[in-house]
Amino acid sequence: MTSHSNTPPSQPDPASAEVCSTKEAASLLGVSHRTVQLWVESGVLQAWKTAGGHRRILLSSVHRLVAQRNQAVQANAPAPSAAPAPEPAGRRIVMADDDATLLRLYELEISGWGLDAELIKARDGFDALIRIGEARPDLLISDLNMPGMDGFRMVRTLRADPRYGKMAIIVISGLDRATIASMGLPDDIPVFSKPVRFNELREKVEQILAADGGAAPEN
């Protein structure tokens, strides 16, 4: 006679090994709970809601984002120094363009304007959302035609979020105005054509940064 145990066999729950909560994802990524929600809404992180309304995020998408951020940090890491650089006291500008040469040109030009602002570079829309979540900038200057997440989708994501919906945005694009209009870019966003006239761009940037609190994201 074969004996049977009264203890049911252990059944692993695959979901518990493959997903995490929004809070756990925020801890893994080192960002705020709201930033994780922003990345979920924009498609950066893959997630769904349970029947009880709780958000569950695929761990694989969290790990992939962690790896991408680590690669970006390593690629842009400064040379070791005897003392850490001081935290910038001024405003922050995120600059997004998939052309590394253009990004460097913008950096060199803007650094000579004497602005009390730190320029943070991003390679596409996804990268810009990460930088925005980390730095809470006063201004975003972005290209539109970028791989991965283009500028149109990035702007829609930001404008749909109450935390970033009022953040100032400037667009620099090689697309013609008719195409830009047909893609639904909000009318209140100033658009500069490539190659940009730096004197005009500087005037607009200084105007935004000089505005009384108008460029900063809400707390």
CATH number at residue 139: 3.40.50.2300
pLDDT tens across 169-188, in order? 999 999 999 999 999 999 99
Are both 101 and 66 inside the same structural domain? no
CATH code, domain carrying 59: 1.10.1660.10
The lowest-confidence range among 31-40, 62-71, 139-148 is: 62-71
Are both 115 and 154 inside the same structural domain? yes
Higher pLDDT, 201 or 56: 201
The lowest-confidence range among 25-39, 67-81, 201-215 is: 67-81
Are both 20 and 107 inside the same structural domain? no
Are both 172 and 143 inside the same structural domain? yes
Query: According to the model, what pLDDT value does residue 53 have?
Result: 77
Are both 163 and 107 inside the same structural domain? yes
* pLDDT at 33 > cutoff 80: no
Are both 41 and 115 inside the same structural domain? no
Domain extent at residue 181: 91-210
pLDDT tens across 56-86, in order? 888 777 777 777 766 654 554 455 444 444 4
Rounded to the nearest 10 degrees, how much is the dihedral formed by the CA atoms of 200, 203, 204, 210?
A: 180
Q: Which residues of 85-103 are buried (b: 16+ CB within 10 A; e: fewer)?
A: eeeeeebbbbbbbbeeebb
Question: Would you say 214 and 168 are in contact if contact means Cβ atoms under 8 Å apart?
Answer: yes
Rounded percentage of the chain residues whose pLDDT exceeds 70: 79
Are both 123 and 173 inside the same structural domain? yes
